[in-house]
């Protein structure tokens, strides 16, 4: 009862101070940037999490706001006048802050509240400019999702050759990661032979960027050693390098130019080749939580064993990135490409459609991701015989995958994944089903 009376008195005091704050601010709410470490519809739960945060000199508060028509309470750390100032203070976050901590642009009009040890709500601290710091080598989910450059036997299913994924922004100039990936394939060659295989792929990933928090140039390099049972075709040492320029032109438009080289890499076509690619991308920030990415790329694939298979593969595409409440994220995309081989039998046009949905699961340091990809490939000069008639070959591929990621302290993380892929074709020899299991451990260095 006494707790309820105390909250009522604080609430009444805030009501009396609101007119005074409005006069001081000339009727405008103060905007600020803050790091969100936890979200919940339960204020008491948020207050408990706030009290558990330790190891920071920044103020830890609880703010409330409306999300999809319901009140959500967020535990936030720090109050900064600009996004740049907030990112510079990334290294001052509590040691208990999850790896998927994200930045929020808020205003005092959205009722920022600080929860004390008893759960009472009091006036928040003032906005301050932090001292310059060197951020820790943790992933910055504001910049990109926590994926790494992986030149492994099979890339991610979701529009993987639209853009090779890169290490997360570490907050420093240099970042490295070592990874050990274990695979099981029910059909490693993706054909009618159904050759089962276990694979082990240790890899090293390095990144350099020209600025700790606002880079416009990034250089990535990855090396991986591939070893598989029941086959020698996929055993190899692969290398991938990329340089990217991403200048900030405005708050709503950001271009990005990438040049990439992959030696002895693999693609969604299940072939081994040397690849060279130049990609131009432009990202449009439609709203605070929605981004549209348009891109075009020129890719060359070179086969040293058979030059007739070498090809030029231009493609264009769109991706829509939706950042939802509760640290959820939904992406959809489409891509069109042409394959122009030195020989004419392999020329084709292909459409790829994909979607991904990921959200926190089994704890604030974990993430669950679902993906679905559909590919439609029509050949220009490759024929199959159907009912004594020659018709052009046409394939359809369907890929469904699920990945669970978990981040621990000291830069340790792991992934556990499953993927199912099937291909339908008017050529009976090209039909297959394949299952894949993945377990991967990574350590930031």
290 vs 248, which has greater pLDDT? 290
CB neighbour list of residue 25: distance below 8 Å, 6 or more residues apart: 108
pLDDT of amino acid 156: 35
- pLDDT tens string 77-123: 888 888 777 877 777 787 777 767 888 887 764 444 444 333 334 33
Query: By mean pLDDT, which of 58-62, 141-145, 320-324 is the weakest?
Result: 141-145
pLDDT of amino acid 213: 63
CB neighbour class for 206 (10 Å; exposed up to 12, middle 13-18, buried from 19): middle
- pLDDT tens string 341-382: 887 778 999 999 999 999 988 776 789 999 999 999 999 988
- pLDDT tens string 21-56: 434 334 445 678 888 888 887 777 777 777 777 556
191 vs 343, which has greater pLDDT? 191
CB neighbour class for 209 (10 Å; exposed up to 12, middle 13-18, buried from 19): buried
Minimal CA–CA distance to 188: which of 198, 178, 180, 179? 198
Confidence category of residue 59, pLDDT binned at 50, 70, 90: confident
Could you give the CA distance from residue 256 to residue 282 in angstroms, rounded to a whole number?
A: 6
Q: What is the pTM of this model?
A: 0.65
CB neighbour list of residue 271: distance below 8 Å, 6 or more residues apart: 301, 303, 309
CA R_g for the chain: 25
Which of helix, strand or coil describes residue 92? Answer: helix
Could you give the CA distance from residue 50 to residue 119 in angstroms, rounded to a whole number?
A: 9
pLDDT of amino acid 249: 80
Q: What is the mean pLDDT of residues 402-415?
A: 88
DSSP characters for 269-297? T--EEEEEEEEEEEEEEEETTEEEEEEEE
Q: What is the mean pLDDT of residues 393-402?
A: 96
Minimal CA–CA distance to 79: which of 103, 97, 100, 99? 103
pLDDT of amino acid 236: 92
Q: Above 60 in pLDDT, residue 196?
A: yes
Asked whether the beta carbons of 366 and 151 are under 8 A apart, the reply is no
Average pLDDT of the chain is 78
- pLDDT tens string 125-143: 444 433 333 222 223 322 2
DSSP characters for 59-86? -EEEEEEEETTEEEEEEEEEEESSHHHH
Q: Above 60 in pLDDT, residue 162?
A: no
Q: What is the mean pLDDT of residues 306-323?
A: 90
Could you give the CA distance from residue 139 to residue 143 in angstroms, rounded to a whole number?
A: 9
Percent of the chain beyond pLDDT 70?
Answer: 76
User: What domains are there in the chain, each with its CATH number?
Assistant: 28-122 (3.30.70), 174-444 (2.40.160.40)
pLDDT of amino acid 218: 92
Confidence category of residue 262, pLDDT binned at 50, 70, 90: very high
User: Which residue's entry shows tokens 């100039």?
Assistant: 173
pLDDT of amino acid 400: 97
pLDDT of amino acid 135: 29
């Amino acid at each position: 009862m006494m707790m309820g009376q105390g909250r009522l008195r604080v609430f009444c005091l805030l009501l009396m101070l609101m007119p005074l704050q409005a006069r001081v601010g000339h009727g405008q709410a103060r905007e600020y940037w803050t790091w969100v470490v936890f979200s919940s519809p339960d204020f008491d739960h948020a207050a408990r999490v706030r009290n558990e945060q330790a190891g920071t000199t920044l103020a830890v508060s609880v703010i409330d706001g409306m999300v999809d028509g319901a009140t959500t309470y967020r535990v936030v750390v720090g109050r900064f006048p600009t996004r740049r100032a907030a990112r510079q203070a990334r290294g001052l976050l509590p040691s208990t802050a999850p790896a998927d901590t994200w930045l929020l642009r808020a205003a005092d009009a959205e009722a920022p509240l600080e929860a004390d040890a008893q759960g009472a709500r009091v006036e928040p601290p003032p906005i301050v400019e932090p001292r310059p710091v060197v951020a820790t080598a943790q992933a910055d989910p504001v910049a990109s999702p926590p994926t790494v450059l992986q030149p492994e036997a099979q890339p991610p299913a979701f529009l993987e050759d639209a853009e090779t994924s890169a290490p997360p922004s570490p907050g420093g100039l240099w970042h490295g990661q070592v990874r050990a990936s274990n695979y099981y394939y029910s059909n490693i060659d993706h054909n009618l032979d159904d050759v089962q295989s276990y694979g082990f792929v240790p890899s090293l990933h390095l990144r350099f960027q020209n600025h700790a928090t606002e880079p416009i140039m990034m250089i990535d390099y990855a090396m991986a050693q591939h070893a598989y049972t029941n086959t020698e075709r996929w055993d190899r040492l692969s290398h991938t390098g990329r340089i990217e320029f991403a200048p900030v032109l405005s708050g709503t438009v950001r271009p990005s130019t990438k040049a990439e080289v992959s030696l002895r890499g693999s693609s969604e076509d299940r072939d081994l080749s040397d690849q060279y690619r130049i990609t131009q991308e432009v990202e449009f920030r439609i709203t605070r939580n929605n981004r549209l990415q348009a891109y075009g790329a020129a890719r060359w694939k070179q086969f040293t064993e058979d030059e007739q298979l070498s090809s030029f593969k231009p493609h264009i595409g769109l991706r829509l990135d939706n950042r939802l409440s509760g640290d959820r994220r939904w992406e959809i995309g489409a891509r069109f490409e042409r394959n122009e081989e030195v020989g004419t039998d392999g020329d084709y046009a292909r459409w790829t459609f994909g979607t991904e949905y990921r959200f926190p699961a089994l704890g604030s340091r974990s993430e669950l991701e679902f993906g679905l990809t559909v590919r439609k490939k029509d050949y220009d000069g490759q024929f199959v015989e159907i009912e004594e008639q020659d018709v052009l070959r046409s394939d359809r591929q369907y890929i469904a995958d699920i990945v669970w990621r978990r981040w621990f302290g000291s830069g340790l993380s792991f992934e556990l994944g499953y993927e199912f892929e099937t291909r339908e074709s008017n050529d009976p020899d090209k039909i297959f089903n394949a299952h894949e299991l993945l377990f991967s451990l990574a350590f930031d260095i």
